[in-house]
Each structure stands twice: as structure tokens, then as C-alpha cells.
Structure 1
Amino acid sequence: MKLQFLGAAKQVTGSMSLLELADGYKILIDCGTDMEREIDYESPIENTSFFPFDASLINLVVLTHAHIDHSGNIPMLYREGYEGQVLCTPPTAELAELLLMDSANLHLRRLRSAQGESRKKHKQMDRLLRRGDLYLQKDVEDSLDNFVTLQFNKRFVIKPGLEITFIPAGHLLGAAHVYFSITEEGETKTLGFSGDIGRFDYPLHVDPHPLPACDYLVCESTYGNRVHEDKTSPMDALAKIIKETCIDKPGRLIIPAFSVGRTQAVLYTLNRLIEEQNFPAIRVFTDSPMGRSSTRIYSKNLSYLNPEARAFHKEYDDIFDVENLVFLQTEKETRAIKNYHEPCIIISSSGMISGGRVEQHIADNIGNSYCTILLIGYSAEGTLGKQLLEGTDVIRVKDREYRVNAQIRKIDVFSGHADQTGLLRFIKDQNPTSLKKIFLSHGEEESMLEFKDKIHELGFKEVILPSKHDTFDL
């Protein structure tokens, strides 16, 4: 069989790998949006496939979890002729529907805004057409009709000689490692895909489970060269900042947080502070329609949460119903919050402060010295989150400049990715004498190189950093 890396190769986004068996059966593992894809905006538009393969010849898609950098191009597969199934866990199917529909709505808004006869509109439409990934709601619906869900830790026979097992990865509700057992010409080989690996003792999510012994392993390396800085618990870290911002003084705390996963972890932690530590019930505004929808999905799938969260639900009846919680619905309500003068907490997306309603809250409060902006995750280059972390004095939001007087804080206790220590813990579950090759994916090359050295120190000899389109015989 052959394994080809078509995304997340020496970069973080765009996860996609193609596994081809000896009989020609083709399995696509993840089909994610590549945020770093290079687009030729100068050459003539050619009517070529979006993918570097014929989508109609793919036999099966396996989805590790719902995040867009793993699921975001699945509707494009169906547009280009794929007719098979997408295998994933039940929570992944629900979250993927939410995220893919949101992407389709974003594509529709972009297309509508580019309609017109002006030169500017023509140029805008040309750039969208060159991107190519402009699927709409009907394309998402077509793909969702073919999602088939499997439970964790249940071996599933796809066809004679091909078995798959989903194993909890912890990173997101329903996130999975994927374990293949493949028999060809009387020989059985095992292959593991880590997906994105979560953290131990994370709010809500289960701890990542080990993979059984593999012959070959594809492992993510997002934080392969980083160890999480904060050693305190999420409750202690959040309690300290809330006390400093909203209790010791009448300030407001703004938490940019991704709608799926991160928002729920923060709400749950706030609820625990109030119920278990008698924290004052400060007014909490959650400003993300998708955040509200994904919270409902988390509430529906309690059996997939960790034992601590399930025990909390059993005792207090609701995980996310924080006292004094208000879900904002409209953009008018978003703008009106600046007139609320009591201490409060605002949770809004996006987590990097790159688009989304949080930009309005930043613009309204960045000049307020009684305001703290708390970054709880990674911020990419070019985002407002990154600028604030670098200590800029002035930011630009929607073509207006604002002086930064607010306090800028960062904690990494809510980061959903395992750090170097957690990644090595995952690797250590394998046997250096029987694991033939480790392929590193889903990480920047600098991160991969340091992680590779650490893996070598554990006694694993062959560690490979594939480039995009590299193919390996297994």
C-alpha cells in the first residue's frame, strides 16, 4: 500500500492524506481547508480539478474531527464527483454540520458582495473564482447525507482485509485517533493517525487515549517544540484574572474564544467557579451564534465528556448554564454592550481576533484602562490577537485606529493541543523496535525538527518529515 501526504505537510492547516491499498482501494484521511494555500492571481483561470486527484475515484473518507482545517473541503469532494461515505464519530458529524454550514454561508456572503459591474467588483469576483473553494449550502447538504457515524473503540470492518477503529483523541468533542488494520497477500499491517492530540486534564474533553501498537504512525506536531507555560489549573488561572479585573475593580474582561470547544471550556470553568468555589456571579455575555449552537451539541453529547464534567452535570444539572449568563443574538445587542457599566465578562469569537463579533468589543473597549483582554489560544501572524500580544500601542479595527490602554493578558491553560510533553507521551506508547516509521504532520517545519530530535532520543530510528505530495510505500 501507499501513503501520500496532500496537506498539513510542514505546515499546520489543510490536513489530508491519501492511503491507497494494493487492490487500488483509496481512502482519504481528512479533507481540510488549507489556510496557507498559494493561489495564482495572475495566470488565466483554468478549468482544472480543485484536488490533485480524481475525486470520483476515492472510495472512502475518514474524518478525525470537525475543525475546518480537517473537514473544510469535504463538500468540494462531492462537487467533484465523490459518491462514497464519510466515517466519523457522532459528535464529529454534528459539529461538522455546524462548521461546514457556517463556511457555506461565508462563501455566499463573499459571492454576493462581489456581484456588480464595477472594475473593483470584477476583480473581487475573479479572486474568489481563482480560490475555487466556493461551496454553498446545497453542497454541504449533499455531503452530510453521506456521513456515517461509528462509536469509539469499536472495530469496524470496511471490507475484507480492511478494519478501522476510532480511539478518543481528546482534542475536541468526538475527536479521534484512527487505527487501521490492513491485510494484503496474507500479511497484516497496522497504521495509526493521531489526528489532533488533546491535553490531559482539560475541561470537558476526555484525556487522549493511547493507540495500540502500530507498524506505521502519522503524528501531529503542532506544539512539537513548545511546552505549555501555565502550570496552574484552568479554574485557578481564570479565577485570578477575574478577581483582578472584575472584583478588585469594576472592570470588564473580554475573552476572544473560538466558538467550538474553547467557548464551552470557558463557560464550564466559570460555572465550576460559581458552584464549587462560591465565586460571585458576575454578568457573563456570550456573543457568538455558533458558540450557542455548539454549546447545545456539547450538552446533547454528555456521554462523550470526561468523568469530571459528567459528575458536575449530575450534581448541578447543567454544565453551561452559568448564573447571570446572557446569550447575545443580534449585532445590535453586540453594540449595546458598551453601555453596560457594571463589571462583566464578554466571551466572543474569533479567538485570534480576526473577524467575528469580538472585533466590535475590542474596538469599544481597547481604550479602557479598566478592561482586560485575555487571549487564551494561539494567534497567527497578521491577526489583531498577535499584534496585541506583541505589545502594539495602536491597532486598526475596521479602518479606524485605536490606542491600546486596556490590559493584555494571555494564558495557555485552555489550549486544546498537547504540547511537546504530551506529544512525546503519545509516542512513548509505541514500541521502538516494532514501529517501522513515524511520519510527522500538522506542524511547522521548525517545530517538527525539534520534535524529531526528541523522538530519536526515545529510541525511534526512522522519523520522516514529508513534504506535500510525497508518497511512501508501506
Structure 2
Amino acid sequence: MKLSIHGAARQVTGSMHLLQVGQYKILIDCGLDYEKDHNLQVNENFNFKPEDIDVVILTHAHIDHSGNLPILVRMGFNGQILCTPPTADLTELLLMDSVNIFLQKSQKSHRNRRHKHQRSSGPQPLYLQKHVMDTVERFVTIGFNKPFRITGDIELTFIQAGHLLGAAAAILRVTEDGVEKSIAFTGDIGRKNYPVLNDPEMLPQVDYVVSESTYGGRNHTKGQSVEEALMETIDKVCVKEQGRLIIPAFSIGRTQSLVFALNKIFSSGKLPPVRVFVDSPMATRATSLYRKFHNLVNPEAQEFYNKQGDEFDFDNLTYVESLKDSKQVSNYYEPCIIISSAGMLEGGRIQDHLFYNIQNYYCTILFIGYCAKGTLGYRLLRGDPIVHIKDRDLSVYATIKKTDVLSAHGDHEDLMNNIKSQDANKLKGVYLVHGEESSMQALADDLEAEGYRVTIPEKDMVYEL
């Protein structure tokens, strides 16, 4: 077998790994690299021929794992894309949203160039709706823990990763020249006791592991539950200060977990009622998919549903649909919570809410997830006193806060435990991807101290397994 890491090598986004078994080529994930947001066209530069790929395995729906699939299809890939049923539906939602974002950026660039009387064309959309539909037609869905034979010599099993509804680690068992080999691709590893999602399953014993390392060297805050952390902030911002709390959240995954946590808080009467707006049409559609695949949510969410009803709906909660209604939220002057996408602030309705509230002393912006370098979210968290939003430079007077209680990534301890489920004498190698270089090094150091053989791959390097 040959392994090459074509994305998320010594960085977080753009997961893309190629496993070659003889002449058969398997691509595991095909994500968008948006750490080079100024030049998204780099995503068209594959270091292999798309038409040579035989099959794609998709671990989960997030764009940094799925967002390059339509380009792969547009440039010649014509095989199957294997994933779980929720991943197929959620990926379609996210890819369609990406098309809208590309078109908006292209139109904005075109307007700016016309204003400056420039003739050269701006960046073209990486793909269009047609390419997404061509991609979706290639999905073949496989349930968890149901071995699927890709070829006579290659078997795939998905196990729950806990990071997102439908998220999976991919376990491949291969017979090559009469020798059996096995390799696990963790995708993104979730954490235990996370709202709505099941705990990640431990990996079975394999020969090689390709592991994410997002939180290498960092542990999540201990001793405070999701509800306790949210209650503390809501009580201060919305109850005591009578202000507004804006929470940028990814429409798929983070929003559903956040809504369930708020449902538990307010239905228990632990805080006075506060109006909650979920301002993201995609979050509304994604929530309907969480209801569709309700058999895959965790036992706590299922029990809540059986006893108290829909975990994604409660009094004072409004799902905002139209753009007109979204603008009306800005005119709501009572204390409120606004949940809107996108989580890194690079597009979507969240930018409108920031535009009208970034200079509001009685507003708090609470980040609940990772923000990649170069994004507006990253700049706010860095403490920039002035930020550029919707063609204007605005001073930051709102309070900027961050909590990791709703991070859907396992921390350093979780990553270590996931690998330590493997016998160090039997595991032949660990390859770290999907993390900043410092995070990878911190994780590698601790794994090597435990006797594991660790590699931090360079992009496009080929490793013989």
C-alpha cells in the first residue's frame, strides 16, 4: 500500500488522503482548503489525475472534508462516493451553500472591478449547482459497523466518530500479495457527553492510523458542563445587563447541539425566558435532517424527546427564514440570543448581525468553535480593534468571548486515548493530519513517549505501508 497526504498536511483544512492498493486508488475525503481564502482556486490543483481515482470515502459532511468533491467530479472523477446516510444528505446541503457563497464572492468582485473600471475578470465559482448534483448522484450510503466490500481485496467499515451526525472513522482491511493489512482514517474525532451526538467509538486494532490532531497539545476546559457555561454567559449578558448575545455557529452540527442545550436550560426554569433567534435557513433544513435520522442521536436526546417532545424546539425559539425577517431581528431591542452562521464569520447572515452590533457596548459575541487563520472570526479572537465588515472598517466595542465547551473536536487527552486503544507493539505507524504544526508536534511528542511511531507528513509525500 502507498499513502500520500494531499490536504490538511501541517494545517487544519483541506483533508484529502490517497491510499493506493496495487493500481487501485482510494481517496479518503476531498475537502476545501480555505486557509488560502484569498486564492480559493488553489483547490483546483490536484497532485493526481481525478479520473484515475477509483472510489472516494467521505468521513463526514463538513466542507473542509467534502467541499472539493464537485471539483473532483467536474475534472473527471466518475466513481462512487461512499459515506453514511446522514453524511450524504448533510453534504448536499453544505455543497449547495458553497455554490451560493462562491457566486456571492464572484458577483462582489465583479462589482468592485466595474467600480474601479477594471476589465479583467474576477475569481470564478469553483463549481455550480450542476456539479453538486453530479456529485450527489455518486453517493452510495453504508450504515455504521456494516462491513462493505469495495473490491475482493478491500473491505470498508464505518464506526461512529461522534463529531457530527453521520461522522465516521473509516477502517480499511486490505489483502495485498496474500498479506492482510489494515488502516484507520479517524476523520474528525468527537468528544464524550456532547449534546445530541453519540460518543466516538474506539478504533479496532489496526496496522496504521491516520489521525486528526486539531486539539493536539490543548485540553478542553474541565469541570463545567455545556449548560453551566452557557447559563453563566446568558445570565450576565441577557439577564443582568439586558443586552444581546450573538453566537456564530456552523449551521450543521453546532447549531443543533446548542439549541438542545438551550432547550434544557430554559425548559428547566434555571433562567428567566430569553428570546432566541436561529437565523440560518440552512440550520433549519439541517435540523429537519437531525429529526429524520433521530435513531442516530444520543440516548439523552432520545429520552428528552420521549419525555418532553422535540429537543430542537421550545417556547421563545424562532427559526428565522426570510431575509426580511432576518433584518427585523436587528430591530428587536429586548434582550435576546442570536444564533447565526457561518461559524468563522466568512459569509452568511452573521455578517449582517455583526455589522449592526460590533459597535454595541451591550453586545457580546460568543465563539463556540475553531476559527481558521485569515478568517474574520480569527481576527476578532486575536483582538483586532478594527475589522472590515461589508465594505466598512468598524471599531470593535462589543465584548468578544470564547468557550470550548461546545467544541465538537476531541482534545489532546481524547486524541491520545484514541491512539492508546492500539497496542503500540502491533501499530506500525501513526500519521498526523488536520492540525496546526505546533498541535501535531505536541501530540507526536506524547505519543512517541508512549512508544508509538509517529510521522507528521509533508504535503504530497508518498509513504510505503
Rate the CA distance shift 1:25–1:428 in 2: closer, same or farther, 3 A. Answer: same
Residue 341 of structure 1 deviates from its aligned partner by: 1.9
Contact 2:280–2:341 under 8 Å retained in 1: yes
Paired position in structure 2 for 1:29: 28
Matches within 5 A, 1:437-456: 437-456=429-448
Confirm or deny that 1:158 pairs with 2:153.
no
> Residue deviations 1:425-453, cap 9 Å, x none?
10110000000011111111111111101
Matches within 5 A, 1:96-115: 96-113=91-108
Rate the CA distance shift 1:335–1:230 in 2: closer, same or farther, 3 A. Answer: farther
Contact 1:230–1:411 under 8 Å retained in 2: no
Secondary structure at the aligned position of 1:123 is classed as: coil
Residue 120 of structure 1 deviates from its aligned partner by: 5.2
Paired position in structure 2 for 1:146: 138
Contact 2:35–2:374 under 8 Å retained in 1: no
> Residue deviations 1:235-280, cap 9 Å, x none?
1110111111122232211111111111111111010112234533
Distance 2:33 2:236 in 1: 39
Distance 1:399 1:236 in 2: 38
Matches within 5 A, 1:387-466: 387-460=379-452, 462-466=453-457
Contact 2:35–2:373 under 8 Å retained in 1: no
Matches within 5 A, 1:18-167: 18-22=18-22, 24-37=23-36, 50-113=45-108, 118=114, 122-125=119-122, 128-129=123-124, 134-167=126-159
Paired position in structure 2 for 1:310: 302
**Paired residue type of 1:322:** F
Paired position in structure 2 for 1:248: 240
Q: Which moved more, 1:29-38 or 1:70-79?
A: 29-38
Q: Give the one of 255, 261, 275 matched to 2:267.
A: 275
Residue 166 of structure 1 deviates from its aligned partner by: 0.1
User: What is the TM-score normalised by the length of structure 2?
Assistant: 0.94
List runs of 5+ in structure 1 lacking aligned partners: none
Secondary structure at the aligned position of 1:339 is classed as: coil
Residue 199 of structure 1 deviates from its aligned partner by: 1.0
Residue 49 of structure 1 deviates from its aligned partner by: 7.0
Residue 5 of structure 1 deviates from its aligned partner by: 1.1
> Residue deviations 1:105-147, cap 9 Å, x none?
223334455568957554343xx25xxx621111111111110
Rate the CA distance shift 1:122–1:114 in 2: closer, same or farther, 3 A. Answer: farther
Contact 1:115–1:121 under 8 Å retained in 2: no
Residue 194 of structure 1 deviates from its aligned partner by: 0.6
Residue 418 of structure 1 deviates from its aligned partner by: 0.8
Paired position in structure 2 for 1:319: 311
Contact 1:114–1:121 under 8 Å retained in 2: no
Confirm or deny that 1:14 pairs with 2:9.
no
Distance 2:363 2:309 in 1: 33
Distance 2:280 2:143 in 1: 30
Residue 163 of structure 1 deviates from its aligned partner by: 0.5
Distance 1:418 1:278 in 2: 28
**Paired residue type of 2:12:** V
Distance 2:155 2:84 in 1: 16
Residue 152 of structure 1 deviates from its aligned partner by: 0.3
List runs of 5+ in structure 2 lacking aligned partners: none
Contact 1:256–1:376 under 8 Å retained in 2: yes
Q: Percent identity?
A: 48
**Paired residue type of 1:27:** I
Distance 1:103 1:360 in 2: 18
Superposed CA RMSD: 2.3
**Paired residue type of 1:255:** I
- Paired residue total: 463
Secondary structure at the aligned position of 2:422 is classed as: coil
Distance 1:223 1:358 in 2: 26
Contact 2:60–2:168 under 8 Å retained in 1: yes
Q: Give the one of 356, 365, 375 matched to 1:364.
A: 356
Q: Which moved more, 1:376-385 or 1:12-21?
A: 376-385
Residue 40 of structure 1 deviates from its aligned partner by: 8.3
Secondary structure at the aligned position of 1:167 is classed as: strand
Rate the CA distance shift 1:40–1:317 in 2: closer, same or farther, 3 A. Answer: closer
Paired position in structure 1 for 2:3: 3
Paired position in structure 2 for 1:284: 276
Contact 2:429–2:455 under 8 Å retained in 1: yes
Distance 1:39 1:327 in 2: 32
Paired position in structure 1 for 2:345: 353
> Residue deviations 1:330-383, cap 9 Å, x none?
333222223212211111112222332112212222333322221111223343
Residue 156 of structure 1 deviates from its aligned partner by: 1.0
**Paired residue type of 1:51:** F
Contact 1:250–1:342 under 8 Å retained in 2: yes
Contact 1:13–1:35 under 8 Å retained in 2: yes
Paired position in structure 2 for 1:467: 458
Contact 2:35–2:372 under 8 Å retained in 1: no
Rate the CA distance shift 1:413–1:345 in 2: closer, same or farther, 3 A. Answer: same
Distance 1:223 1:241 in 2: 24
Confirm or deny that 1:197 pairs with 2:189.
yes
**Paired residue type of 2:392:** R
Distance 1:256 1:440 in 2: 29
Rate the CA distance shift 1:60–1:452 in 2: closer, same or farther, 3 A. Answer: same
**Paired residue type of 2:215:** Y
Matches within 5 A, 1:335-350: 335-350=327-342
Q: Which moved more, 1:113-122 or 1:287-296?
A: 113-122
Rate the CA distance shift 1:180–1:382 in 2: closer, same or farther, 3 A. Answer: closer
Contact 1:114–1:122 under 8 Å retained in 2: no
Secondary structure at the aligned position of 1:227 is classed as: coil
Rate the CA distance shift 1:412–1:49 in 2: closer, same or farther, 3 A. Answer: closer
Rate the CA distance shift 1:374–1:8 in 2: closer, same or farther, 3 A. Answer: same
